[in-house]
Structure 1
Amino acid sequence: MRISSVTMFETSTASLNRQQSDFLKISQQIASGRRVVNPSDDPQSASRAVGVDQAKAVTEQFRDSRVSARNSLSQSESIMNSVTDAVISAKTLLVQASSDTLSDVDRESIASELKGLYESLIGQANATDGNGRYLFGGYKDNAPPFVKAADGTVQYQGDNNVREQRVDASRLMPVNDNGITIFKSVPSSAGYVAEATKDDGSPNSGNVTFRGPQVTDVNDADYGTDFRITFTSDDTFNVETFDGTNWTAVPAQTSVAYTGNIGDSAQQVSFAGVTIELEGTPVGGVNGDSILVAQAGGEQREPNLFRTMEQAIRVLENPADNPAKKADLRNTLNTSMRDLDNALDNVLTVRASAGARLNELDVVDAVGSNRMLNYTQTLSDLVDLDYADAISEYSLRQVGMQAAQKAFVDIKGLSLFNYM
């Protein structure tokens, strides 16, 4: 069999190219640190690596989302801490203002301090995040959620929604609470609150004051019903309940004799498992004096921290220079202090919820970190290079290429003319 010189050269060149290709391939692997540089190197591992890499990218996105959620919750929690301090300070001022030894000037000074807390609360309620979005407006975060109306009262302009953010594949977490939840709500454990007011919302004209209300029988058939005590004359009253449209007198509590205006003894009025004590002289008749006894946060008495502050400021700024104004001062301060207690409990409850979500983020972060480690390890097992094997292979390919080169040189020098 005759082997031509062309065949020998082609065979040697092909061997050199193959050895050089293998050598370059292992060199590229060592340089990149990856065993699978191209999908053709290991199609199955490359395909699995794409899936793992995508899962890793999604996990990283959730990690970034948790950072954003943590920032929002931390800001909200910090603001609610300030709100808590403001409510406690306001309650302290009202306790101080309740002292009979204070003059009108003293109470006006307290009202000035209370105004400062009131404005501070409005500022905190309209706080923004680092991007200029209002924290407590729900999805309506491009405008202040709390604004002062023409009558000087603070009105909520946000919506009832809560902004949520997906912090993990299976967890959509609320990252903010709206203004209603924080400033216009009470905890479920809030009890009854009494308020001295007429039908038209104006203060009573008489000097009736109240103590309580106190819950005496939670098993009463009417327990949970809001009611009001309306004075039909100076010495009689009706107990009325709201039927959804109007206030109607309870049949067994109509034209009840009122004795709280006799001497120094207070009269107890009991209904629906609740007792309240009344003392003083009322002004009865059409649009006469009345005492509302309603569950905090109920239909008849919407909770509103700003309204509570406004009412307290009103009575402290006005001189208590007659019995009716003194009664209004005492009743309003009693009502306001109960409202502040409920508001404080509510803010603490919402703040605790925010803290619980922050703790949950820590747990989800730990799970996400473990998941990232697993993905990284799996990806490494699929495509990363074993340097010990690679270096050994590199040396082997280097020797093989050198041998091919030497063989080609030797074969190239062979010729029959050398033996002639």
Structure 2
Amino acid sequence: MRVSSVTMYEQSISSMNRQQNDFLKVSQQIASGRRVVNPSDDPQAASRAVGVDQARAVTQQFADSRVSARNSLAQTESVLNSVSDAITSAKTLMVQASSDTLSDADRESVASELRGIYETVIGQANATDGNGRHLFGGYQDSSEPFVRSDNGIQYEGDANTREQRIDASRLMKVSENGESIFNSVPSGAGYVAEADSGNGGNITFSGPQVIDNDNADYGESFRIEFTSESQYQVQRFNPATEDWDVQATADYDDQSGVVEIGGLRMELKGEAVNGDTIEFSPADEMNTNLFRSFEKALAVLENPTENDSDKAALRNTLNTVMREFDNSLDNVLTKRASVGARLNELDVVDSVGGNRMLNYEQTLSDLVDLDYAEAIGDYILRQVGLQASQKAFADMKGMSLFNYL
């Protein structure tokens, strides 16, 4: 077989090109830090790497979502903390205002301080997050959820709660609606009593106290109605007829009396007139509006007490408002505890998501990342091979029969 000069040149160039391609491939791997630079380098590993990379991207998206959820919950928790402090301060003022030693001017001073707390609570109820959305408006978060009207502060939001997916299997509430915070009481809040604003006597009450919550009538609504100065009826509300049924009639003498019904105990004191009424019902059936509680307290504190009837109305209203404040505070603390629990859950989910990300990173590294020690050795080997191929070509092209003629 005759080997022509053209064949020798073609074989030599082909060998140099092959050696140079191998050398450049290793150079690209070292430069990129990846063993699989192109899918053709390892199709199976490249295919698996795409799936792992997608899963990692989804996990990172959930991590970003948890950051947003944590910010929202942290803001909600901060506002609820401020509201609970405000209610505690208002309760302190109620105790101060209940003192018989205070004059009308003193009570007006207390009312002025209470109004400042009231305005603070309204501001907190209309708080916004960093994006201008109102925290407690539900889905109606573009405008203030609590607005002033002739009937007091009205809730204009909805009963929905914004949710955010923080993991593939977890959809978390990241806010609370204002209805559940400022217009609600916790379950099991007990009873609240309230004297009718039109009472003409100076009858006052204390209670109700629970003495038997296993009583068959416990949980019903009751009313004490005076039919004369010396006699009253104990009535129970009948939901079927939406009217009050008389349960008992009792005499009221010595300007004091004790009423026990439905596992509850009420103590009465003072002089009554015909038609005076006191209603006591489960807290969730009475006033549950925190702002209304403030308004009732302000109304009696800002008006002078001119007679015994006014003093009785003041004492009864303050007793009622203090119990309503207690229920509102319990409700706010319950909501705050719920928000805190969700913040703790985010920490747990973050930990799980972090471990998952590490697993994805390790798997992806095993599939496509480069072993630098092996690659550098291969790089040197390919470099030597390329140099040898170039040297052989250079030596061979100088060989010619004409040199021997």
TM-score class, shorter-chain normalisation, is over 0.9
1:248 aligned partner? 244
Cα distance in 1 for residues equivalent to 2:251 and 2:61? 69
Deviation at 1:411, TM superposition (A): 2.4
Is 1:367 paired with 2:341?
A: no
Cα distance in 2 for residues equivalent to 1:378 and 1:231? 81
Is 1:332 paired with 2:317?
A: yes
Cα distance in 1 for residues equivalent to 2:93 and 2:150? 27
Q: SS state of the match for residue 199, structure 2?
A: coil
1:181 aligned partner? 180
AA aligned to 1:204 is N
The one of 201, 215, 238 equivalent to 2:233 is: 238
AA aligned to 1:274 is L
Q: Map residues 34-73 of structure 1 onto 2, 5 A cutoff.
A: 34-73=34-73
The one of 279, 286, 290 equivalent to 1:292 is: 279
Cα distance in 1 for residues equivalent to 2:134 and 2:181? 14
AA aligned to 2:361 is T
1:401 aligned partner? 386
Cα distance in 2 for residues equivalent to 1:209 and 1:215? 18
1:263 aligned partner? 254
Using structure 2 for the length normalisation, give the TM-score: 0.97
RMSD of equivalent CA atoms: 1.4
Cα distance in 2 for residues equivalent to 1:344 and 1:148? 22
Q: SS state of the match for residue 107, structure 2?
A: helix
Quickly say closer, same or farther: Cα 1:263–1:232, change in 2 above 3 A: closer
Q: 4+ residue stretches of structure 1 with deviation over 4 A?
A: none
AA aligned to 1:297 is D
Q: SS state of the match for residue 284, structure 2?
A: coil
Task: Count matched residues.
Answer: 404
Deviation at 1:341, TM superposition (A): 0.9
AA aligned to 2:61 is Q
Residue-by-residue CA offset, 1:219-278 (whole Å, 9 max, x unaligned): 21111111111223333333223333522213x42xx1331xx334x2111211111111
2:210 aligned partner? 215
AA aligned to 1:263 is D
AA aligned to 1:270 is E
Q: SS state of the match for residue 297, structure 1?
A: helix
Q: SS state of the match for residue 206, structure 2?
A: strand
Cα distance in 1 for residues equivalent to 2:198 and 2:83? 29
Cα distance in 1 for residues equivalent to 2:51 and 2:319? 65
The one of 256, 268, 283 equivalent to 2:273 is: 283
AA aligned to 1:102 is L
Cα distance in 2 for residues equivalent to 1:283 and 1:139? 50
Cα distance in 2 for residues equivalent to 1:93 and 1:213? 22
Aligned residues with identical type, % of pairs: 67
Deviation at 1:281, TM superposition (A): 2.4
Q: SS state of the match for residue 144, structure 1?
A: coil
Residue-by-residue CA offset, 1:198-230 (whole Å, 9 max, x unaligned): xxxx44222111111011111211111111112
1:168 aligned partner? 167
2:102 aligned partner? 102
Residue-by-residue CA offset, 1:377-405 (whole Å, 9 max, x unaligned): 11111111111011000000001111111
Answer yes or no: is the 8 Å Cα contact 1:227–1:241 preserved in 2.
Answer: yes
Cα distance in 2 for residues equivalent to 1:387 and 1:257? 97
Cα distance in 1 for residues equivalent to 2:33 and 2:331? 57
Answer yes or no: is the 8 Å Cα contact 2:238–2:245 preserved in 1.
Answer: no
AA aligned to 2:293 is T
Deviation at 1:419, TM superposition (A): 4.2
Cα distance in 2 for residues equivalent to 1:246 and 1:8? 112
2:189 aligned partner? 190
Q: SS state of the match for residue 295, structure 2?
A: helix
Deviation at 1:186, TM superposition (A): 1.5
Residue-by-residue CA offset, 1:142-199 (whole Å, 9 max, x unaligned): 1111111124x111111111111111111111111111121112222311110011xx
Cα distance in 2 for residues equivalent to 1:335 and 1:410? 109
AA aligned to 1:72 is S
Which shows bigger deviation, 90-99 or 175-184? 175-184
AA aligned to 2:171 is L
Q: Map residues 314-353 of structure 1 onto 2, 5 A cutoff.
A: 314-353=299-338
Is 1:85 paired with 2:82?
A: no
Cα distance in 2 for residues equivalent to 1:70 and 1:100? 48
The one of 225, 228, 241 equivalent to 2:220 is: 225
Residue-by-residue CA offset, 1:123-158 (whole Å, 9 max, x unaligned): 00000001110000111101111111124x111111
Q: Map residues 12-31 of structure 1 onto 2, 5 A cutoff.
A: 12-31=12-31
Cα distance in 2 for residues equivalent to 1:247 and 1:104? 39
Cα distance in 2 for residues equivalent to 1:240 and 1:416? 132
Cα distance in 2 for residues equivalent to 1:364 and 1:257? 62
Quickly say closer, same or farther: Cα 1:384–1:396, change in 2 above 3 A: same
Answer yes or no: is the 8 Å Cα contact 1:126–1:134 preserved in 2.
Answer: yes
Cα distance in 1 for residues equivalent to 2:189 and 2:149? 28
Cα distance in 1 for residues equivalent to 2:377 and 2:148? 79
Answer yes or no: is the 8 Å Cα contact 1:26–1:393 preserved in 2.
Answer: yes
- Segments of 5+ residues of structure 2 without an aligned counterpart are none
